[in-house]
Structure 1
Amino acid sequence: MQGHRPDSAPTPALIALSRERHATRRWRKPAAYGFARNRRFVPLVLAETDLAAAAMPLVFAQGGDGDLPQPVALLRLNADSSPYVTDDGRWLAPYIPAVLRVYPFSARPAPQDDATAPPRMELLIDEGSGLISDDARDARFFDPYGAPSKALDAVIGFFRHYETSAAATRTALQALMQARTPDGAGLFTPLRHGDTVQQGLLALDRAAFDALGDDSFLQLRAAGAIALAMAHFISRTQLDWLARAERALAQQSDPQNTAQDSAAGSSRPDIADFLSALAIAQQNDGQVQHAAPTTTTTTTTTTKGTT
């Protein structure tokens, strides 16, 4: 995975966090999720795929030459904005992908001179987010002595856990890429919904998966890939729902349809109200997850100018 930048939206102004640049600056968490409204997808790691798949389609973003596909939560199919985010930035789905919860931070592998040293991650901040400030009410990046603040330490801890799960995810994806049916067919195929191919997105072919021999299946199980594949297959039922939600919201925003409904004295069910009710129900059941992936790690996450 090429860092943890969460989507195919316009590239944010990602800057490496450093004492030199950010020693006296502060940051705050976003008050809403409007920053995710136009994103097509966000990346997922193995530790969160079951929870994400229960709430939204889990598919795969096609990698570049030599890169592995990446599991992603699909936030929209054909619309310009996601049904999971309201106009005022409320997140409606019962699960929030991990990388959205840690915005405006991101991370990427840090350059290393010693190939035998433990991997290090470089912490990034989106300076175009509007969340970087000099307001004394906001959290400091660094304390007066130049050490990461407690708030920043929590972010660093998040990415340590996240990278451990990302490494396990890469192992599972490598196994899925290498798996072959007895007649030599691979598992990945372009993602289709109806008659439309979703450009840049992939799915697993269920027939090919079911045709795998016992040895291939056991190799996938050993790599942790079975859980990822099952989450993907189950989540694909969400594609039809996502398409219906987009059509319903498009009809609601059409002035002609609104005028016709008002004249007829009828009202169309509000998909946003339905999603809000679902989110509240899930919260009441304790199913909304806000913690970072719970894994252990030896990965070091750093900021420039820190050790």
Structure 2
Amino acid sequence: MQGHCPDSAQTPALIALSRERHATRRWRKPAEYGFARARRLVPLVLAEIDLAAAAMPLVFAQGADNDLPQPVAVLRLTAETSAYVSDDGRWLAPYIPALLRVYPFSARPAPQDDATGPPRMELLIDEGSGLISDDANDARFFDPYGAPSKALDAVIGFFRHYETSATATRTAMQALTQARTPDGASLFTPLRHGDTVQQGLLALDRAAFDALGDDSFLHLRAAGAIPLAMAHFISRTQLDWLGRAERALAQQPDPPNTAQDSAAGSAKPDIADFLSALAIAQQNDGQVQHAAPITTTKGTT
């Protein structure tokens, strides 16, 4: 299950949720997104790639050992904190990645008692989040009989749908990883932003992708990989925007004579004010606060 952020430096200490440890305890949803301010990456699945790619860079985190690369949203490049989170914890982008919406929960595959049975998952919680309490106004984890509460059932349902989409995502990533151009070249290349290689991150080479033969392209389409690749290519423009946002928020000038400066002219918008205005507009129409959960649609969730 893709429930953990590949950026290990930003992964919280997660504890398995259990009746023994949490039978009488309660939890509440975060009132803001300050917990994501220092995160660099957050995993994505196919169900959310279109919305995510319209709001932030979608690239690929290298897997450990022989693990598949994983689609991730880049929340910051060189800044210590993300431009997508305001100083007072407001989320400023038009889309909130699914795993941030379900915080302080995460999940991972659980040991299988029966290899032929359906996959099992273990629910995890960040006990350092400040969201675990004994306050009677907060939601219970379990009812008095030890069964998951209605609130916890909703979280479990979220992760079941999420895992369905994560499985489809792994299928797409396996196809992209195995694909080769007619001369045997891989589609993946180290991600560069300007003159800097972003350590641990990969991009798809557009020229290599376009050089694929018809059979390879059809295989990628059957695996559901084409929408993922297209979302990645389109979202790459967000890297330039994110870099400009980070410089503006740090009150640093843009490098001279960039292609984007040439196209936009010499005027430099106040990106911090723009982000805040965007967030206010989204809050007014409820799109961010009431972001829909992942739901099943035609093979993905």
TM over 0.5: yes
SS at 1:190 equivalent: strand
The Cα shift of 1:10 comes to: 3.5
- CA deviation map 1:191-219 (0-9, x unaligned): 00110000000000000000000000000
C-alpha contact 1:59 1:201 (8 A) present in aligned 2: yes
Q: Which moved more, 1:205-214 or 1:277-286?
A: 277-286
C-alpha contact 1:18 1:305 (8 A) present in aligned 2: no
The alpha-carbon distance between structure 1 residues 292 and 171, as it changes in their structure 2 partners (threshold 3 A), is farther
Q: Is residue 303 of structure 1 aligned with residue 297 of structure 2?
A: yes
SS at 1:5 equivalent: coil
CA distance in 1, matches of 2:116, 2:19: 27
The Cα shift of 1:114 comes to: 1.3
Aligned residues: 300
The Cα shift of 1:13 comes to: 1.9
CA distance in 2, matches of 1:180, 1:306: 25
The alpha-carbon distance between structure 1 residues 268 and 182, as it changes in their structure 2 partners (threshold 3 A), is closer
The Cα shift of 1:305 comes to: 31
CA distance in 1, matches of 2:298, 2:191: 40
Q: Is residue 227 of structure 1 aligned with residue 221 of structure 2?
A: no
- CA deviation map 1:45-72 (0-9, x unaligned): 0000000000000000110111000000
The alpha-carbon distance between structure 1 residues 265 and 191, as it changes in their structure 2 partners (threshold 3 A), is closer
CA distance in 1, matches of 2:296, 2:108: 10
Identity of aligned residues (%): 91
SS at 2:107 equivalent: strand
* Structure 2 gap segments, 5+ residues each: none
C-alpha contact 2:76 2:83 (8 A) present in aligned 1: yes
CA distance in 2, matches of 1:92, 1:213: 41
The alpha-carbon distance between structure 1 residues 89 and 258, as it changes in their structure 2 partners (threshold 3 A), is farther
* Structure 1 gap segments, 5+ residues each: 294-300
The alpha-carbon distance between structure 1 residues 254 and 193, as it changes in their structure 2 partners (threshold 3 A), is closer
CA distance in 2, matches of 1:12, 1:232: 27
SS at 1:71 equivalent: strand
TM-score, normalised with respect to structure 2: 0.89
CA distance in 2, matches of 1:258, 1:64: 35
Q: Which moved more, 1:2-11 or 1:12-21?
A: 2-11
C-alpha contact 1:101 1:290 (8 A) present in aligned 2: no
The alpha-carbon distance between structure 1 residues 253 and 100, as it changes in their structure 2 partners (threshold 3 A), is farther
C-alpha contact 2:56 2:74 (8 A) present in aligned 1: yes
- CA deviation map 1:49-105 (0-9, x unaligned): 000000000000110111000000000111111100011111000000000000000
Q: CA RMSD in A?
A: 6.3
CA distance in 1, matches of 2:85, 2:275: 10
The alpha-carbon distance between structure 1 residues 7 and 98, as it changes in their structure 2 partners (threshold 3 A), is farther
The Cα shift of 1:256 comes to: 21
The Cα shift of 1:279 comes to: 3.2
TM-score, normalised with respect to structure 1: 0.87
The Cα shift of 1:276 comes to: 2.3
- Runs of 4+ residues over 6 Å off in structure 1: 252-268, 301-307
C-alpha contact 2:247 2:253 (8 A) present in aligned 1: no
SS at 1:73 equivalent: strand
The alpha-carbon distance between structure 1 residues 82 and 305, as it changes in their structure 2 partners (threshold 3 A), is closer
